[in-house]
Each structure stands twice: as C-alpha cells, then as structure tokens.
Structure 1
Amino acid sequence: MPPRKLLLVLISFFALLQILHPPLISAENISFNFPSFATLRNLTLLGDSFLRNGVIGLTRDLTVPSSSAGTVIYNDPIPFFDPETNTTASFSTSFSFSINNLNPTSFGDGLSFFLSPDNQTLGSPGGYLGLVNSSQFTKNKFIAIEFDTRLDLHFNDPNGNHVGLDIDSLNSIKTADAMSKGIDLKSGNLITAWIDYKNEEEKLMVFLSYSSFKPESPLLMVDIDLSDYFKEFKYVGFSASTEGGTELHLIESWSFQTSGFLPVRPRNHPHNVSDSSVIITPPIPVPDSSPKNSRHRKIGLGLGIGGPAFFCAVLVVFGCVSARKWKEIKKEKSFNAELVTGPRQFSYRELKSATKGFHSSRIIGHGAFGTVYKAFFMTSGTISAVKRSKHSHEGKTEFLAELSTIACLRHKNLVQLQGWCVEKGELLLVYEFMPNGSLDTLLYQESERGRTLKWPHRYNIAVGLASVLTYMHQECEQQVIHRDIKTSNIMLDANYNARLGDFGLARLMDHDKSPVSTLTAGTMGYLAPEYLQYGKATEKTDVFSYGVVILEVVCGRRPIERETEGQRMVNLVDWVWRLYSHGKIAEAADERLNGKFNEEEIRKLLLVGLSCANPDEAERPSMRRVFQILNNEAEPMVVPKVKPTLTFSSSLPLSIEDIVSDGEECHTPESMVEIRVD
C-alpha cells in the first residue's frame, strides 16, 4: 500500500474512534505565579509601564510632575465559563504593590486590578486609572478593583484612600476606606492584596495587609453574581495613572488562579450495568489436535506475526518518506514558541493574496530590510503593511530570537508588529498600515505638491519620537538600540502621530561584520562621529540621529544638501549651529510654515536638536531628559555657541560619495580620510 493511502487509512481509523468515543471538551482551571518579574515572558506592557529590577512600574518614574498611564496584561486569555458543564469559575488573586510619591503634596491617581475581554486595555491618564478612554467612556469593558489615591467627585469617590469594585464604569458599585484597616495606600510601604470571588456564594472579597499574612476579615465585601460577565474569555492585568503628579505605582509579585471546573474525565460506556450484575464466564474451548486445524493454527500464527510486522514495515517506509519533509517544516515552525506572546503567524498564501501576488502596484516603500507592500485582507476588511525580506537570513535562529524580543515591545509611538510568515525561503513581517506614510515623504515630496506639515503636528512628532526612544533605551527589560533613526523610518498615523518603524532590525543584519560594513546599518547624515569611527552603536548614537531628525522637522531641509548655486554640500547641523552662533537660530524655521508657528517652541526644538547632535557623545542628553524638556518638565540644556571640534584618525576606506548622501553623483575617488567634526 502506498504511504499516502496508508496515511489516509490510519486517519480514517482514528477519525472513526473519535466518532464512536468523542473526547470530553471542558474548560480547565488556570493558575500562574510571579514571585518577581525577572522577564516579560507571558506579559505585555502597554503605555508608560516598564520593567526594572524585577519590578513592574505602571507609570513614569519621574522627579517632576507628569501625566501618565500604563498597563501590564497576562498574555493568555482566561476561561471563566465552561459551556459543557454550564459552570462559572471562581477566582483568587494576590499581589504585592506599593504607591510611592516623591512629593508628599502631590497625589493621584491610583491603580487597579482588572479583567477585560480586550488584551489592549489602555485608558487615559488622571482619574481614569488607565482603564477608560476620556473621550469614549463606554469603549473599554472591564471588571476592576480600584485602589484609588485621589478624591474625584466626578466619579463619586468617598475619599482619596479607598478600594472599590468597578464594572464598566469608574463609579464604583461599592467602596471601602482603606484606613479602616489601618492601610495608607500612598505610604510607599509594600502592601499585599487578596481578591477572592466565590461563584457559588456570589460574593467578592478584598483583603489588604502590610504583611504577607492574609487577614481574617475583608476590607471590602460585595454580594454580586458575575456569571453574566464571564460568558467569554477574559484577560487579567493591572493599570494605573497620574495627572500632574509624581506618584509611582509598582507591582512586585502576582499570583492568580481559577477554580470550580471539573477535571476532564473519559466518557463511560453506554451500558446500564448495576453492582449486582452477574458476570458469566464463557467456557474455555478445548484445542483440536487434528492436522487440518494444526495447519490453520500455523497459518493464523503466521498472519498474527506477519501482519503486524508488515504494518510496522509500512510505517517505517512512510516515516522515511516523510522525515525529510518534516525536517524542513520543523525548521520553519521551530521558532513559533519564541513568538507566542504577541503576533500571529500568517500563511504565505494569505499574504500573497492580500498583496496581489506581491504586485508592483502594491509597493509603498523600500528599506534596508526589503520591499514594503500594501496588503488588503478581504476576510477581515483590514489593511496592513507587509515587509518582504530581500536577505537570505542564514542566521535565521538568531534573527527570530531577536524578533521575538521586538514583538514584545509595546508603545503607542511604535509601528506595531502584527504577525510574520516564514515559508518558501522568505521572511515576511506584517505591520500596522500607516495612512499618512513616512515623515520624509510628507516633509519633502508632499511639500512640493503644496501639502505642508503644520507646526503643531511637527512638535507632536518630536515629543512622540522622544517618548518611544526613552522607552526603548531605558524602560525595556532589554535595551533596544535602533541604529537607523531617520525620517523615512518614522511613519505617521491618521492623526499625524509619530510611529517609529524598522526598530531593531538594522542591527540584526550586521553581526560579525567589519566596521566598514557596519556603516550600512545606518544612513549617512544621521550617523554620529564616534559611530563612523568605531562602528559601535550605543544609545547616544540614537540620540545623535534623533537630533538630526528634529532639525529636519523644524527646518524642512535634508541632513546633507547641495547648495542652490554651486556644488558645495551643506551639513544641516553645521548650518543651524552657524545661525545659532550669530543669534539668528529662529531663521532656521521652514519657510513653508509661513510664520505659522510658536517661536518659543521653534527655539526649544532647535536647541534640543543641536544638543543631541553634539559631536561629543558625553555632552548629549539622554532621551528621558529630552522628553522631559519637551514636556516642560526639565530645564533645557546649555548649548555652546561654537560647535565643538573632535578629530579622529581613521583608516576607514570611505568615499566622499558614501559620506555625503544616498545616490548623489560625486567623482572624488575613494581615499583614506580623516573624519573631522568642526
């Protein structure tokens, strides 16, 4: 029998068994425990949340007042209802948290533990506790226990130190004063909370203590039936927010479990057999010793031994035929476990159909990683951007391991990775589609058509980009250095918010290469002097690139441009610094703005751009400091009137053509150069 037919026979056999004895499908009890948070495995951070030293922070860790909102969510949805047995689960959770405040006169707004049908729950700062969108009160659905540290009369709060049960609204169903148990939520001390919901008793209880011992009596007890809210899967997590305060919300440990679901048991045979049934033993047959029966026994014995042996031989053949193909499939699927925390896996056929066979009419961009296509998914009616790699990716294992880290990044100013596909020897990445394209297209090509990017949008882009780089440099578990920050890698969503794309990918392509080839990871004009010299990227090289981008955004000029008259190339940083030296820095503003801008903001952005593009990396600010300056939460840095000078003796065989721009014609021969920054 051919292997394929044999496989069909086996499948049919097992399918018949499934029909005769179908498995019992039942929801299972779930439990997990995080004594500390060493990694972000199985967790997703949203908004301003961060992981540091084994502790999750939900709001910004700043010494100056700010508005902030953040969320951490357990990745897997939790079943609370079993349709097979019509059973609703009970749950228990305990966690240790602290609410610190550097300024005792500052307050608000608190944190919450929530259950939500959405794994992207992130609300507004302030009294919304990161649960509710301020402009769409009914958008987010949730069940939450709030630990509120601010009296907000808008939500009928009893005081600024209470615990409450919220369902789809921040007007609590019932509240309790934490001080009734001697607990000051804002004390900065470690507090342990226990939340128990007993479905059979229709009762929810909240316990609080400064110790790790659960009190005998609850702080808050609510008689409520949550079974109607548990008909669908829920995601569990924490959220917190501040508004013009310095309150910091930290989660140090967390455990969670559901109970009440019966264990899966095999289905009994449909025979009604009582305990008093009489078992009748059949008579034992007496063997017949006739020659005829002896032959039959030998034939039967031969078939009994030969049949299974033949069956096993066929299986071996089938296994050998399939082994080679299985190895290939295994290579493509082996990395799935690395990406279980977020994006989905697309099929090659699905992406090919969505891009019309990767037709040239669907191309919306090109980059170091490959070609970008616009993809229409007919089944869901959604639009995405698909990046098709032009690299062979011999080091696929390393690449995909790094990709799994990138997939865990969550920030409102990142182009979110939606999925991937590894088939046909290709690597395809699926991202959110950005309707307003890239920043460089809007600054230059669209401007030529009379579409000018307005000043409020430009300032907002600078702030958004600073926010996401702060997140990547200082708030991620593993620091991410972008290495290729430029206007073509900054996308704009429907509201002209900056979304950083191609993050982390450039550095993955250049392992074990020489300093010369490392230059291909970036783009000339955006590269810091020390990176040109040593080929090693740090967070300060990203800061330099950010500074150049900011100057582009304000001035509407490329990093390196040819003079209108003549062949001399002009460096944007040098040009702005000269204007600053002569007290005319405001003259660097893009003429196409026609004076419609805030001059104070113009000066601030230009000075931030110059401080970031300082040739001396030690003098560049961190991205956190930049973000604080742009939000008026820190004083601007002092920028020297004369641009500092650094000299590197370099043996890099760079051509002037490489240094000046992409695609510019230049006939100067390659030579050994001295990189001089002056």
Structure 2
Amino acid sequence: MFFKFTLSFLLLCRFAASQQEDVGFTYNGFRGVNMSLDGLAQITDNGLLKLVSTTLAQVGHAFYPLPVSLMNTSTGNVLSFSSTFVFAMFSELTIVGGPGIVFVIAPFREFPGGLPSGYFGLFNATNMGNSSNHIIGVELDTLQNEEFNDINGNHVGIDINDLKSVEAIPASYFSDKENRRIDLNLFSGQPLQLWVEYNGIEKQLNVTLAPINVPKPTIPLLSLKIDLSRFMVDPMFVGFSSSTSALDVSHYVLGWSLKVNGQAKELSLSQIPKLPRIGSKTKSRIFQIGFPVIGASLVLLLIFIIQFTVRRRKKYAEVLEDWELEYGPHRFKYKDLYKATKGFSEKELLGIGGFGEVYKGIIPTSKAEVAVKRVSHDSRQGEREFIAEIVSIGKLQHRNIVKLLGYCRRKGELFLVYDFMPNESLDKFLFNQSTTKKTLGWNHRFQIIKSVASGLLYLHEEWEQVVVHRDVKSSNVLLDNELNGRLGDFGLARLYDHGGDPKSTHVVGTFGYLAPELARSGKPNPSVDVFAFGVLLLEVACGRRPIEGQGSEECVVLMDWVVSCWSGGNILETVDPKLGMNYNVEEMELVLKLGVLCSHSLASARPCMRQVVRYLKGEIPLPQLPSLTSEGSCDLSTWCPYLGSATSLSSSTITDSLLSAPR
C-alpha cells in the first residue's frame, strides 16, 4: 500500500514539474519511446513511427503521452514553441495520394468520432468547424477534397477547428542556393522535413518544408499572422493524425523534436531509422491489386467528370423549347454571352436603363464586339410572340439601324445581342459632356437627325412589315466610329402587316416621349414614333431634356418652352448654348419647327416619316404654320379649319391651341 502511494506521489510530482518547466524532447527514431498510440499507429522494430499502412479506410493517432502547457498563465497568451519532424508518405499510385498527415495540437489524444479518408481521423460531418474543438493542425494533404476547398492534391495547409484551411499552398520549398521555389511531391516516398514555429510575442506562425538533404530554408512556405490564444486551452496534447481511403498508402514519421519557449533541437539525420524498401513491393503486387485500383480510380474519375459536367451545364443552363428551334440561327448560347461579358462583370457594364443593363462583350468564337442587354422577363404571357418578333427584327438591314444579332433566354431573363457602337449614345454627348472628349457640332447633329429619320422611314414603310420602335429617344440613338447615328434597342418594338391594324398593348416607353393617344388606345402605330422623334429633334437642337426639374415647382416642358419662344418671335433663343453661333440658321429653324409639328397632340396632325425625310432634305417646304406674333397672339384660322373665322388667343393658351389643332 505504501509503495502504491509513493509511486502515485512521484507521478504527480513529475506531472506538476512538467507543467512548470518548458517541455522539450528530441527523438531520432522512436525505438523505446513512450508514445500514446491509437488505431493503426505503431512503432516498428527499427524505430519508425508508422501512422497507417493499409488499403482500408482506417485512422492512426500518435501523441506525446503527457499534456503540454503552452500558455503563459499570468498573461493568457500562448508561449513561443518550435517543432520539427521528418516524414515520408508513399502511395502505390504515382499520380494520386491518399489522405496525408496532420501535425496536431489538441486538448485530447483520442478522437472517437473522427472519420478516416478526407477527415484525417480528426473530425466528422457534425463537428467540422466547431469553435469548441480547440484543434490546430498543419496538414500535409495528398488528396484533393472539394468539400474542404482543397487547392490541389499535394499541398500544405494551416487548419483551425476545421479542414477548410485558413491558409494553404502547393507543396514546395525555397532554395536559397537557386533563389527560387522548387516543387515537392509529398507522397513520393522520399523523406521530407517540416518545421512548425510559433512566435508568441509577434503572434506569427511559420511552416517550412524541405528535403532532408537541404538545410532549413530562410523563407518559410507558409507564414500566418495569428493569435493562437484565441483557439487554445491549457494544457494541450501534441502529435500526429492520419488516415487511409481506398488506396494502398504508408505514412511514417522518422524523427521528431519539440521545444516550448525555445528552438527545437535539430534532428540527427544520420541516426534516424531507414525506411523500408516500399517501392519493391509495387512490382510484385501490381498484378494482384494494380488493375482493381486503377479500375476504382477510373470509376472515381468518371464520377468526377460527370459531376463536373452536370455542374457546368447547370451553370450555363438555358430555356429552350421545341417551337424555338426554327429560330436557331438567331439564338446565342448563354455560355458564350457569359464568357463574352466576363461573367456580366461590372467592369463591362455600359449602362443601366429602365428595362435592363447593357454590357460590352467579345464573342469567343468570332471575336466580334457586341453589346448585350439583359432584360428581366418574369411573365410568360406572349413570350413566344415576343421572341418571334425579336427574330424578325433581326432581319432588319439598314445603315441607320443598330443590327440586332440575336437573343438568348435563361431563367426568366432575356438577353438581346446588338452590334457594339464605340461612341455609345447621343444623350451622353448632349447632356453629359464630361464622359467624352469629343464634341458634337451642328453638322454632326443635323446629320444624326437625318440618319434617324431615314431609319424610321425604313421601319414604318420600306420593310416587309410595319415596325413600331416605341422607344425613340436620345439614349437609344447610338453613334459609330464616325459619329453616324443609328437607332438601337428594339426590345419594345412591335410589328404588324402593312395595311393591318395594330393590336392594343400595355403602354410602354419613356416618360416625356409618349404620345398622348397611347393612354386611350394603347395601339403602337407609326405616329407614336413620330411624336417621340419630334421630342428628339428639340433635344438635339436645344441641348435640353424633354422635361426638366421634374417634381419641382419649376418643372419645364421643353416643347412648351420652344413654343413660347416661337410665339414671341425668338425661337432661336432655344438653341443649345454649347453651339454658340456655329450653326446654320435655316436648318436650325427647320429642326425646331419640325420638332413642334411632329410632337402635335393629335396623331392625325403629325407628318409621316416620308414627309419628315423630305422636309429635312429640303425637297418640300414645311406646311404653313400659324403666324406667332410678339404680342403673344396668333391667327390660327388658316391652319385650324374647325375654328372657323380668325380667333385671337391669349398667350396662356397658345401652346394648347398650337398643339391641338389639326393640319
């Protein structure tokens, strides 16, 4: 009894002393060393610490048997410590390894819930990432596991309570002699040496790797700024954990040194035990297990390829129905548009409008520059008819029309693909000069007006069907390299046969450009484009938006202002100040008056686009408009037959009378 009491007392004193003194040990081989072993781990006859060696999915743990105090009890900070060990990992397949080795610092030596294979024998699916684990590891991983975001199948990583490494890098070492990094194969079967060092003052964790015949490199493989006191408890256990999967692997530790509050003693490489001739087994066993292993690997590879293909197809999945097959030549693949716009990157964003975003892109196959408009399309009602019209619009061929190259449909979104216009839109030149270094003089402006008019004439009368654009405005007039105007963005366009009657639709367009009759009939006929074109004429001439100060007491309607100046005999006061006196007076008056005429509140009073084109070319004169006097009255009798005799109107009603009278 006395002997048992004395023995217990001595062991207790030894443990207490170990808590107060800085722990340090050096094992040049493990023959006769007292290690805490679990699972497959064992010490061979010649002193190798074999962690695992099997094809079965099992684990191996080997720990220093006594707890180690790594904390400064007075400050609560983790002390500096240093450890180095020599290891070797062998895989029967040279192209892939099994699960590797983890150098572990943990509050316990046993992991009853730890699973083999990808979990290294430390964790399972339920406790991965738990802050209560208090496990710190340096993994030598030879199997890529996407679940844990592994960078490859041959890397070194720092793990905190999880196998998703906080820092990881492919296995390599810095050669001081060659002044460069050199790659290493962790599962080559050749012995390698790893150093794990923590500076408790600077809170710096360094991990360094090298072949055993190379001195410790001056530059570590991994260097992480981290305060380990946030994750540790006191005391902790230190050791190694490993596991296997379906491959025949062997993992060894040949020697190990550790020191708390100091530098780990260097291992005597001449004294560490020799590895068995693992490679010689391969040739003798290749016919026994080689083909089954290769077959299993091919199955795993096939499964990976299938999963990768399914994920890739899901990423680029499109909606394609049988009725769309007839439109095949006009349909783009979503994958091509995704790559063309670099994943619809913000850097490729050209602009955002009321109906979607527009991105610049380069089609991978043709290298053609395009503009891709992404439009939300949640409702399926009329979708087939909509796409049929989009495809029909794709057939338009006119020098003043931005060509619609095609479309794509995916997950409630529509993508419209157009020719790319390098000078973007007209409104940026008119209203936001800071975004472009080029100026837009009157000659360019007048040419753009005639170009858009020519394009609208083609849409309304010269193509096989009547095309009503429904969104004519300065931001949809795009400019090519030579600042020629082209009408673009046909996302709202509607088509019907010549001589037919357009169907009523929802009122769409842009406030300030909408013809008043749309609210009553909802019928998109060419006259609604003429109205919007009239507003565009005033924008280009005056350099002002259709409605300014919207929502304020000083809201100004551009057309009212032009009519007011016209009635006072000073219509040229409305000219864009940026033009100065650099414009043709006759052309300017023509554009201003034609803008008012086209924006007439009665659709029947507006000219058709063929007449507009002839006015702009000077082939025919403008019709006789009311004579507006400086006194603010006008004689509308010759222009407004329904008024009968000459009528005198006050200046407050000039706008209404001028814009409501028929021709």
**TM-score of the alignment, normalized to the shorter chain, above 0.5:** no
TM-score, L = length of structure 2:
0.44
TM-score, L = length of structure 1:
0.43
| Rg larger for | 2
